[in-house]
Amino acid sequence: MSLSERLGQLNRVQRTLWFRLGATALVVLMAVGLAIGLWIASRDLDGIMNDVAMRAQERSQRVVAGTEAESGPVGVVRDAIDSALLSMQVPDAEELRDRGLSEEFIRRAIDSASPWSVVGAIGVVAALAIGVVWLGLGLSYTGILLAGWVPALILSYIPGLQGLGTLLFGAIPLALAFLTGMETLKIALSGPSPVLAVARNVLAEAVRMKISIVFIVLLILLLSTTPSLLNDEQPLRYRVQNWLQYGTGLSFVVLALLTLFFSTATVAFEQRDKVIWQTMTKPVRAWEYILGKWSGVVALNAVLLTVTASGVYLFTEYLRRQPAHGEIAYQVDYSGQITRGFPERQTEDRRLLESQVLVARTGRGPEAFNILASEYRMSLAIDNLVANRLASDSSLSDTPALRRELRQELTDQFETAIDNAIQAEIEDAENRAGGPLRATPSAMRNFRREVLDRWESRYRTVPLGGMQTYLFTGIDPPRGRDRASLTLQYNINAGTNDPSKVYRVFFDINGQQFERQVALDAAQRMLFHPDLVGDDGIVQLTVLNAEGNDRDISFPPDGLEILSIAGGYELNFTRIMFVMWVKLAFIAAVGVAASTFLSFPVACLVTMSILFMAESAGFLQDSLRDYTAMTTEGRDWVATVVRLIAVPVAWTFSVYAESKPTASLVDGRLLSWLALAKTIIVLGLWSLAGLATGWLIFRQRELATYSGK
């Protein structure tokens, strides 16, 4: 019997019912046995700690010898087992009481144990394995894993070839995950609808067309090789951030280019090669063809994003459970004490990782200087005026009518101050121009904006040796027993931002002072306890510029912010991946629409131009704030033309630019459900508009015109 006949026989065996039932039972037994084995092993805390200490000593010796990479996959498996055992470790309450520890300490130690997370991870892997078995691919995948991982294991211990072994270990599971997703999609798209039939054909093209294969292979290689580029000597939080940056950011670039080229090629090539004759002569309408092509590309992106998200998330969790600086193992300090569940006992690297990176945080800036734009500042000013009026006139009472009168008085005073400043600007401009200036409505708006911007700039400046106070309202500090610290994030500028300069700055937060040595033009963070926040959610921050500094300091518009934790990063990670999928769907809609009436190169150029405009819309928005068409001498016509082009582009793609999935993930920023819904609605409408445009053009085309060639 030939090799192909034997393989065919094995393929028939793996698709039989009895094999699927038997393989499922085997997977379940192995998963249960592994969970029970880990649970039993986790009872021996002393043995775990001895093994952890021994592993740490071996790791430090390898680092000193420069052979850390030689630990290979076996070291990875050992680290994973150590982390699982430490996570499953549930302390004995009676033993802790015998040590004289408090009930609060005991309760937190028990609550912080996470045995079910390990059991859940085993269950997910088992479920995926069972899914592969019922797809009829159990023996095939087992053979591929053995054929790939055995050589990879050998290569990982051969000097100079460890990188190739690591690549194989990472690439094979990712490739199998992609194939599994494609098989699942074929089943999901197996209906009789013409739209589903066209989408199935697109998926078949994806694994046959060279353009798509190149990018798919590139994506798998990227995810496989990036972990080996991380610097083990860096703090753990930086390694995790670098991985999230490269794993999601570069993957999105590859997927965007794949979507751009493949969505245009799948339509343009069918018209060029006359394949579309066979499709459109069947009972397939124009809108069904367009929708089917778009759905196929979107489904392909769903599979690739799922593979990407799985790889990024799993390796992030692996990194998370690596020793941070100051630890000998995951949340075990050098003294051998488990710090899990006790932020105050964690090392700085671990605490910052868990409170600033692997979280979802919301930020709030200070109240605006403009009293008309700040309801809180207006309320404070009215309260002061009411108190003064009542003190000076005992016949008055604090009534809504009095407050309305004082609000109008404050508004009039502020508007009068603005008008006076604008008049001074006009007089200064007339003196420079040597004649009267025509004060058009547009010029007056520009003068008003310049005045407010100048006042805001003064508000964000702290003079040398002086101080400035900023108010933050609506701060909701964490409650309950797990009270994570709040974060003050600041970015300080001074003069030309000499990188060699270090400034001494004092921060006073509701009466408690902190001293910091600050580098210029760099985002920096400072943790403070949530108890410093008042019951009304107000934080009064006073910044003092020390006498020994060189000059005044200032904060950019977004250079001062208080961040608070709103949840874990897992759900935020899911929302971020969904935003990336919606963006790719928009790119696919543009590519499909453009290729309905343009050749492949021109359609690629048009789609790439729109992608570039969408990605650069955020930069345009920031630039346009300081780019005005009006000057003191009159209208700048070059700037006018530039604004006529740039403003519509920035406005059209504003939602696309505002959703920054990679930056949100790396900085631990919350991407809310509201922001996700806004992105889906706006980009969804733009995608539908693009598809509708493509359909209107496509239905008018003479597709079966014979060229004579």
* pLDDT band (50, 70, 90) for residue 637: low
Q: Mean per-residue pLDDT for 346-371?
A: 83
| Per-residue confidence (pLDDT) for residue 69, from 0 to 100 | 42
The tokens for 277 are 């004759």
For residues 254 and 88, the model is more confident at 254
Average pLDDT rounded to a whole number, residues 390-417: 78
Instruction: Give residue 429's pLDDT.
Output: 67
Quick one: pLDDT at residue 405? 80
Higher pLDDT, 644 or 258: 258
Its sign, for the CA torsion 67, 70, 73, 77, is: negative
Return the pLDDT at 67.
46
Least confident of 57-71, 333-347, 441-455, 539-553: 57-71
Number of Cα atoms under 13 Å in the Cβ half of residue 663:
5
Mean pLDDT for the chain overall: 80
CA-wise closest residue to 313 among 86, 181, 121, 38? 121
614-625 burial code (b ≥16 CB/10 A, e <16): bebbbebbeebe
Question: Which one is predicted more confidently, 499 or 43?
Answer: 499
The pLDDT value recorded for residue 68 is: 45
pLDDT at residue 100 is higher than 60? no
pLDDT (tens digit, 9 = 90+) per residue, 322-337?
A: 888 888 777 777 766 7
pLDDT tens per residue, range 226-241 = 887 788 778 888 899 9
Give every CB contact of residue 108 below 8 A, 6+ residues apart in sequence.
Answer: 341, 342, 481
Q: Decide which of 174 and 76 is more confident.
A: 174
The yes/no answer on whether domain 461-556 falls in CATH 2.60.120.260 is yes
Instruction: Report pLDDT digits (tens) over 524-533.
Output: 888 888 888 8
pLDDT tens per residue across span 677-697: 999 999 999 999 999 999 898
Supply the pLDDT for residue 494. 87
Residue 651: closest CA among 686, 675, 693: 686
Q: Quick count: other Cβ atoms within 10 Å of Cβ 504?
A: 14
What are the residues facing 631 on neighbouring strands? 634
Higher pLDDT, 168 or 563: 563
Summarised one tens digit per residue, pLDDT across range 577-614 is 999 999 999 999 999 999 988 889 999 999 999 999 88
**Local confidence band at 486 (pLDDT 50, 70, 90 cut-offs):** confident
Per-residue model confidence as pLDDT tens digits over 266-277: 998 888 877 777
Cβ atoms within 10 Å of 694's Cβ, excluding its own = 27
Q: Categorize the per-residue pLDDT at 292 as very low, low, confident or very high, splitting at 50, 70 and 90.
A: very high
Give residue 482's pLDDT: 47
Q: Which residue has the higher pLDDT, 302 or 442?
A: 302
pLDDT digit string, tens, across residues 140-151: 888 888 888 888
Q: Where is mean pLDDT largest: 411-420, 425-434, 592-601?
A: 592-601
Give mean pLDDT, residues 369-397.
Answer: 74
What are the domain boundaries of the chain?
371-449, 461-556, 574-698
Which pLDDT value is given to residue 480? Answer: 47
Higher pLDDT, 578 or 484: 578
- pLDDT given at position 345: 74
Helix (H, G, I), strand (E, B) or coil at 475: coil
Q: Find out whether 53 and 332 touch, Cβ atoms under 8 Å.
A: no
Which residues contact residue 385 at a Cβ distance below 8 angstroms, ignoring those fewer than 6 apart? 406, 409, 410
Residue 66: band (very low, low, confident or very high) from pLDDT cuts 50, 70, 90: very low
Rounded average pLDDT over 74-101: 63
pLDDT for position 632: 47
pLDDT digits (tens, 9 = 90+) for 176-225: 888 888 888 888 888 788 889 889 889 888 888 887 888 888 888 888 88
Residue 484 and residue 582: Cα distance in Å, rounded? 33
